Amino acid sequence: MSRTIRTFEATITNQQQVRDDLDQLGWAASKLWNVGRYYAQEQWDETGEIPDDGELKAELKSHERYTDLHSQSSQRVLEELAEAFNGWFGKRRNGDDRARPPGYRKNGDSHPRSTVSFKAAGFKHDAQFTRVRLSKGRNLKEHRSDFILCEYQTRPDVDLTEWDIQQVRAVYKRDEWRLQFVCRTIIDPEPPGDDVAGVDLGICNFAAVSFGGESVLYPGGALKEDEYYFTKKKAKCDDSSSREATRLDRTRTGRRTHFLHALSKVIVAECVERGVGTLVVGDLGGIREDDESGESRNWGDHGNLDLHGWAFDRFTTLLDYKAEAEGITVEQESERDTSKSCSVCGHTDKNQRVERGLYVCEECDTVANADVNGAENIRQKVLPSLATDGGDRDNGWLAQPAVHLFDRSEGCFAPREQVVDRES
């Protein structure tokens, strides 16, 4: 048995009655973020160190803005600020000169409506009447028992009584407030089967999947197009923290997140269909480092942009929890030598990858798509006895994988033929 976390979004059906109160909380969260941002900048300028969330909470606990929100909501704002600084600092450490620290939350001369999170002590759920009571901070209460009572509606297939609600978030999206319920439950699904699949992650093809007898490529073209488009559009902004730049960042992040969700979902669905119980993913932990020197590897201007823009870790996390819900175990294995070795006979030669998308083995004459060959080698990391047959198996699937493209109109992956037909 294992625990699983899910987030369910709901519309607020009494929007008009609660909007003003939620606006106040959203503005208050932005003000507290900015106070914390100012303090963090001071510490960075003086010491060269970023304060962690514990220091931020201790320093700002007595600040007037802290008590605009419930204490747990204020804590979460400062935790998010610390996480954003850590993310920026990590990118700097990995040589990303384009990375910028988290900015102040401003919308012209006013504050935007930030997400407000309510932990266990900050909300009370009433499942019978599908409503939730959200706590205000002391400064915003008109009287001691003042709170916000939101009536909500989820998708018909969602029953929150089956879940343990850990957190409620009030999120402002498309000119209205919505609720997100972060829930936990215990699951114990039966695995779909005993087969093993391997996943090779890369730049041109975001994922190549080998099922051992058939293979599928998932090109990252749509993601690359977005990265280039939004980078170019943002470069035209006079101020990287302007309203337009912020809008572009949010749109790009939303599209990238949707791409990663759609890709992880379709790969898990393919595994279920084929009775896969173990999914082996190439570990890209050292992808930014040179094999020999250990220094940051230079992939060229376009390659570096792709590499830093693509959230490989995020994708693996999404794949992991979606697979867990289906009883599929996800393992990570080193990708070392998987691009140099023949997945049929095991012969290793760094010159066998004759061009970007083609792998030719001089030992057994196997011709394969290079990414599929890598995915099959990753699969064999947990099935090492496979590469012993000297090419007796039918290996056509190594050279001719199915290709599934991201269909923008449908927001999902589909066979190349279907996507092309819809576009034409």
The 10s digit of each residue's pLDDT in 342-395 is: 988 888 876 666 666 888 888 888 899 999 999 999 999 888 655 444 444 567
- DSSP characters over 80-128: HHHHHHHHHHHHHHTT-TT--------BTTB-----EEE-GGGEEEETT
The pair of structure tokens assigned to 212 is 């051992």
Backbone angles phi, psi at 135, to 5 degrees: -85, 145
In angstroms, the Cα distances linking 330 to 80, 191, 204, 217, 311 are 28, 12, 23, 19, 18
Share of the chain above pLDDT 90, in %: 49
CA 34 to chain centre: 25
pLDDT at 186 (0 to 100): 76
Identify the top-confidence range among 98-112, 165-179, 395-409: 165-179
The pair of structure tokens assigned to 117 is 């999170």
pLDDT at 386 (0 to 100): 53
Q: The pTM is what?
A: 0.62
pLDDT at 290 (0 to 100): 44
The 10s digit of each residue's pLDDT in 75-96 is: 999 999 999 998 888 888 888 8
Domains and CATH numbers, the chain: 2-187 (no CATH), 195-415 (3.30.420.140)
Under the banding of pLDDT at 50, 70 and 90, the label for residue 145 is confident
pLDDT at 306 (0 to 100): 47
Residue that the structure tokens 């990238």 belong to? 256
pLDDT at 390 (0 to 100): 45
Q: In what order do the strands lie in the sheet with 164-173?
A: 116-118, 164-173, 176-187, 2-12, 147-153, 131-135, 123-126
pLDDT at 78 (0 to 100): 96
pLDDT at 199 (0 to 100): 96
Q: Which residues pair with 201 in a beta bridge?
A: 207
Check whether 305 has a pLDDT greater than 60.
Answer: no
Check whether 408 has a pLDDT greater than 90.
Answer: no
d(C-alpha 135, C-alpha 124), whole Å: 9
pLDDT at 296 (0 to 100): 42
Mean pLDDT across 111-115: 92
239, 100 contact by CB (below 8 A): no
3-class DSSP state for residue 293?
Answer: coil
pLDDT at 253 (0 to 100): 81
pLDDT at 308 (0 to 100): 43
pLDDT at 311 (0 to 100): 67
d(C-alpha 193, C-alpha 274), whole Å: 8
The 10s digit of each residue's pLDDT in 244-271 is: 887 888 788 888 888 998 999 999 999 9
